């Protein structure tokens, strides 16, 4: 990998400024509606930002999923779509990109990440088995549960504390994991579900030392490790920046080494792979691949398209090669850090250290007077939209859902409101506007009241639940 342009420029100028390694070739005009209209829009949406119309949103930080700006090369690739039902040439490009950059042997395409989660969990989980993981993710845990699994959180305890400055808060607590293996017996463990970076902990990375030690432990007990590779480029970048011995390795080299310690991965290409739709599943074991390739035909599509058009697979293949470049990841994580620094300078409570894809506002610290079952993070998302037209997302008690056995709310330690930054979409000026909006909401926090849930769907309730003001 060649030296980074940004780094070289910074050195020549004797200062540390940097800018994105791309320029803007096409723009999408934004509409800004007035505050009163936003108030109505928020009420009509049941105080759930998922139910707003995107046209009523000014700066959309709901998610970094499927919201990336594609490059001119990716758009050119879209014109080269081979829309054959079977054996599309774009599938082979995708297969080659996953093999080259992630290093797995066998690839099954899927329509997006949860399609891959469905296939792997239905295949490897037996009824009643435990699935230890470094913090839950909404769709991941649901697919584990629907396949008969029981998720057990084995992330290190520092991950649950928004103020702990541990550099790798995504790490697995290996003692906790080994205790689980011993107490439950390894025949009752389906696999270890490892995510890098950890979305629900605030985009926090896993260290290379941790995954290496995890591999050693799992080898001793004969347990497989499957990786949620959704934001592994960002995880690899944090290893380069923070872990001894990796400063001179490229993100691509670090990625490949990390993946070597795992037996396979599922991927939401809508994140790090810089596309608007797509996903894949990759494993090293042929027998398992054979089962997955058979199952994909039932739920997604033939094993050479898995729910994607040929052109989409081409865009993913190109997106992998672009997304893994050091300059790209540095600018991406750098923009998140820029916004985080603005907020920290104003002493606004956010999860620290700042993660890879988003800023997570600590809604508990924001609104200590609002009890968790009056949905502080949901309230904060509604307030921010109403103030400034900026859309974020709840990642707290609503996202955590109910315990399937007791039917009670799960009360997560972290009650967060997420501002996820789409890749290559917004400028630094947009980040300034966001920070000022958050500051305004923070300044009026004491007068803010919580919400009441008035409609609750059965699955993944955060997407469609409705609320009313108290
Ligand atoms: C988005 C996401 C998924 C699910 O992927 P989709 O493409 O949205 O189906 C799984 N795991 C993590 C960590 C994610 O962020």
5-15 pLDDT per residue, tens: 555 555 555 67
pLDDT at 17 (0 to 100) = 78
Please write the tens of the pLDDT for every residue from 394-445: 999 999 999 989 999 999 999 999 999 999 999 999 999 999 999 999 999 9
Q: Which atom of ligand 1 lies closest to the CA of 65?
A: 1
pLDDT block averages, 10 residues each, the chain of length 470? 49 72 96 96 98 97 98 98 98 98 98 98 98 95 97 97 96 98 98 96 96 98 98 98 98 98 98 98 98 97 98 98 97 97 97 96 97 97 98 96 92 95 97 98 97 95 95
Asked whether 279 lines ligand 1 (CB < 6 A), one says: yes
Q: What is the dihedral of CA 359, 360, 365, 371, to 10 degrees?
A: 150
HSE of 193, CA atoms in CB hemisphere, 13 A: 33
38, 231, 270, 271: the catalytic one is: 271
Do the Cβ atoms of 65 and 357 come closer than 8 Å? no
67, 138, 197, 379: the catalytic one is: 138
Distance CA 146, CA 153 (A): 17
Asked whether 88 lines ligand 1 (CB < 6 A), one says: no
Asked whether 65 lines ligand 1 (CB < 6 A), one says: yes
Mutate to test the pocket of ligand 1, among 116, 198, 199 (most ligand atoms within 8 A of CB): 199
Burial class (CB in 10 A: 0-12, 13-18, 19+), 397: buried
Is 126 in the active site?
A: no
HSE of 436, CA atoms in CB hemisphere, 13 A: 9
Asked whether 134 lines ligand 1 (CB < 6 A), one says: no
Taking the centre of ligand 1 as the mean of its atom positions, its distance from the CA of residue 117, in whole angstroms, is 9
60, 173, 228, 387: the catalytic one is: 228
Taking the centre of ligand 1 as the mean of its atom positions, its distance from the CA of residue 346, in whole angstroms, is 32
Domains and CATH numbers, the chain: 18-64+326-469 (3.90.1150.10), 72-323 (3.40.640.10)
> In this structure, which residue's CA is closest to atom 6 in ligand 1?
113
Distance CA 140, CA 416 (A): 19
Taking the centre of ligand 1 as the mean of its atom positions, its distance from the CA of residue 138, in whole angstroms, is 8
Do the Cβ atoms of 421 and 61 come closer than 8 Å? yes
Asked whether 357 lines ligand 1 (CB < 6 A), one says: no
Taking the centre of ligand 1 as the mean of its atom positions, its distance from the CA of residue 212, in whole angstroms, is 24
pLDDT at 8 (0 to 100) = 52
Put simply, whether the predicted model's pTM sits higher than 0.75 gets the answer yes
pLDDT at 393 (0 to 100) = 96
> In this structure, which residue's CA is closest to atom 14 in ligand 1?
230
């Amino acid at each position: 990998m060649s030296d980074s342009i940004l780094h070289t420029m910074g050195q020549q100028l004797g200062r540390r400024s940097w800018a994105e390694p791309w320029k803007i070739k096409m723009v999408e005009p934004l509409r800004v509606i007035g505050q009163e209209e936003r108030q109505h829009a928020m009420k009509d949406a049941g105080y759930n930002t998922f139910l707003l119309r995107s046209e009523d949103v000014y700066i959309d930080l709901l998610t970094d999923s499927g919201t990336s700006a594609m490059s001119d090369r990716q758009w050119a690739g879209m014109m080269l779509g081979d829309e054959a039902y079977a054996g599309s040439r774009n599938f082979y490009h995708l297969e080659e990109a996953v093999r080259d950059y992630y290093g797995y042997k066998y690839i099954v395409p899927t329509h997006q990440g949860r399609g891959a989660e469905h296939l792997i969990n239905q295949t490897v989980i037996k009824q009643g088995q435990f699935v230890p993981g470094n913090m839950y993710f909404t769709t991941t845990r649901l697919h584990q549960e629907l396949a008969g699994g029981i998720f057990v959180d084995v992330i290190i305890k520092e991950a649950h504390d928004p103020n702990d400055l541990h550099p790798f808060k995504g790490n697995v607590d290996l003692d906790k994991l080994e205790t689980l293996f011993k107490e439950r017996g390894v025949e009752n463990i389906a696999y270890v579900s490892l995510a890098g970076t950890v979305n629900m902990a605030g985009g926090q990375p896993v260290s290379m030392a941790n995954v290496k030690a995890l591999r050693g432990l799992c080898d001793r007990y004969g347990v497989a490790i499957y990786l949620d590779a959704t934001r592994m480029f960002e995880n690899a970048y944090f290893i380069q920046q923070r872990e001894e011995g990796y400063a001179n390795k490229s993100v691509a080299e670090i990625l490949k080494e990390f993946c070597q310690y795992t037996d396979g991965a599922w991927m939401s290409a809508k994140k790090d792979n810089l596309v608007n739709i797509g996903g894949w599943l990759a494993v090293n074991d042929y027998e398992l691949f054979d089962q997955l390739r058979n199952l994909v035909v039932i739920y997604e599509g033939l094993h050479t398209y898995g729910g994607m058009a040929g052109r989409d697979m081409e865009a993913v293949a190109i997106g992998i090669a672009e997304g893994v470049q050091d300059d790209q990841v540095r600018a991406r994580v750098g923009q998140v850090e820029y916004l985080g620094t603005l907020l920290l300078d104003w002493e606004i409570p956010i999860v620290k250290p700042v993660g890879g894809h988003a800023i997570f506002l600590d809604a508990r610290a924001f609104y200590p007077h609002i009890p968790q079952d009056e949905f502080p993070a949901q309230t904060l998302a509604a307030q921010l939209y109403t103030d400034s037209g900026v859309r974020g997302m709840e990642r707290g008690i609503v996202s955590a859902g109910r315990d399937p056995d007791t039917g009670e709310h799960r009360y997560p330690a972290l009650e967060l409101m997420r501002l996820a930054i789409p890749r290559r979409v917004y400028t630094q000026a947009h980040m300034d506007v966001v920070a000022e909006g958050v500051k305004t909401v923070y300044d009026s926090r004491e007068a803010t009241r919580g919400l009441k849930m008035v409609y609750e769907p059965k699955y993944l309730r955060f997407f469609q639940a409705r609320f009313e003001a108290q």
